[in-house]
Amino acid sequence: MDGNVIVQIAVIGAMGLMGLGIITMIISGIKSMIQGKQDFRRTAVMAVPFVIFGIGYAIMGDLVLRVEAAGVLTTLTMLGIMVLSVLITGLRGTFKF
């Protein structure tokens, strides 16, 4: 067997396992929401990166690297949201409001 074949099999296996894990998490989240164990707002927050990616993909136009550009836009947007959240949380803790 060639080394490239083994690498390809390993990568496909890893991607398959990641896909199964994601599907399991989605099903578990839906089940928890139906049973009332999880609040819808907390679950909806998990969709924010996907929504940002979709918006970024839609506004990129006819770029050759459309998916990559949308991914970078998503990463930078989520980083900005994180910095803002840390800043606001720090201010709330400092001024006790």
13-66 pLDDT, tens per residue? 999 999 999 999 889 888 888 888 877 787 788 889 999 999 999 988 777 788
Give the Cα separation of 49 and 44 in Å (integer).
10
Nearest CA-CA partner of 52 in 28, 17, 80: 80
CA 36 to centroid of chain Cα atoms: 24
DSSP letter at 96?
A: T
Token pair listed for 11: 């990568």
DSSP letter string, 10-67: HHHHHHHHHHHHHHHHHHHHHHHHHHTSS-HHHHHHTTHHHHHHHHHHHHT-S-TTHH
51-88 pLDDT, tens per residue? 999 999 998 877 778 888 899 999 999 999 999 999 99
For the question of whether the overall pTM of this predicted structure is more than 0.85, the answer is no
